């Protein structure tokens, strides 16, 4: 049985489309691999910048390294001084409670978040579980807020690993520093060093 002219054209078009689709899939795979390699190189450069900034004290006036998810120990120390008359005991108790909460923050099984819808978007918000309520009662609002801040940052920057994430931070503007911004600062510093 002979195929009609329309059927032959249809089969040719179908084959051409199949070949084009295969070429696009192949190109997509190549681009995906390239993107992963580029992302890896950028992450490596970012790690080097963060490491360099940590080791230098000269650049910290504007840009420094902020540790997202790190627990601020000051509120615990202040609360300890209020609770205990001995400075030595206050410092010891503060260190103990901070250590306990740092351990709790890194526990992947502890996830006191609820997903709620706000203006049509799903967002995770902290719900006050028994541990947080006890912390607030025993150590006050500032210690409670320090734990909530660390918990929020861990959830935002590293929800699966729950470990502290160092980021370049502009302390004047209160924002993360992009790689481009960090490179501009380094270029300005190198120019000023060369002109001295």
Tell me the pLDDT of the chain (196 aa) as tens digits: 455 666 667 788 888 889 898 988 988 888 888 888 888 888 788 888 888 777 765 655 688 888 999 999 999 999 999 999 999 999 999 999 999 999 999 998 888 988 888 888 888 888 878 999 999 999 999 999 999 999 999 988 887 778 899 999 888 899 999 888 888 888 887 787 778 7
Report pLDDT for 4.
Answer: 60
pLDDT at 171: 86
pLDDT given for residue 77 in this prediction:
96
Beta strands, E only, the chain:
63-68, 113-118, 121-126, 165-170, 175-176
Q: Tell me what pLDDT residue 117 has.
A: 86
110 secondary structure, DSSP code = -
What's the pLDDT at 182? 86
The pTM is what?
0.70
Select from 108, 87, 195 the least CA-distant residue to 160.
Answer: 108
3-state percent helix, strand, coil for the chain, nearest multiple of 5: 65, 15, 25
Predicted confidence at residue 48, as pLDDT, reads 82
Counts for the chain of helices (H) and strands (E), in that order: 6, 5
Would the CA dihedral through 64, 166, 157, 69 be positive or negative?
Answer: negative
What pLDDT is recorded for position 2?
A: 54
Q: What pLDDT, on a 0 to 100 scale, did the predictor assign at position 61?
A: 67
Q: How far apart are CA 183 and CA 59, in angstroms?
A: 12
Region of 119 on the Ramachandran plot (φ > 0 left; ψ -120 to 50 alpha; else beta)? left
pLDDT at 57: 58
């Amino acid at each position: 049985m002979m195929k009609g002219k329309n059927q032959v054209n249809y089969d040719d078009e179908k084959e051409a489309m199949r070949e084009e689709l295969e070429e696009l899939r192949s190109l997509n795979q190549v681009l995906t691999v390239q993107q992963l390699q580029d992302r890896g190189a950028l992450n490596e450069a970012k790690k080097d910048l963060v490491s360099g900034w940590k080791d230098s004290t000269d650049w910290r006036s504007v840009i420094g390294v902020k540790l997202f998810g790190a627990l601020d120990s000051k509120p615990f120390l202040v609360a300890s001084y209020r609770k205990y008359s001995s400075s030595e005991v206050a410092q010891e108790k503060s260190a103990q409670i901070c250590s306990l909460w740092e351990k709790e923050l890194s526990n992947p099984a502890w996830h006191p978040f609820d997903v709620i819808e706000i203006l049509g978007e799903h967002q995770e918000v902290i719900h006050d579980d028994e541990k947080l309520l006890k912390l607030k009662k025993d150590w006050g609002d500032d210690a409670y807020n320090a734990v909530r801040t660390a918990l929020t940052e861990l959830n935002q920057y590293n929800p699966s690993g729950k470990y502290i994430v160092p980021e370049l931070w502009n302390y004047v503007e209160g924002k993360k520093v992009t790689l481009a911004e960090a490179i501009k600062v380094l270029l300005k510093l190198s120019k000023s060093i060369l002109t001295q």
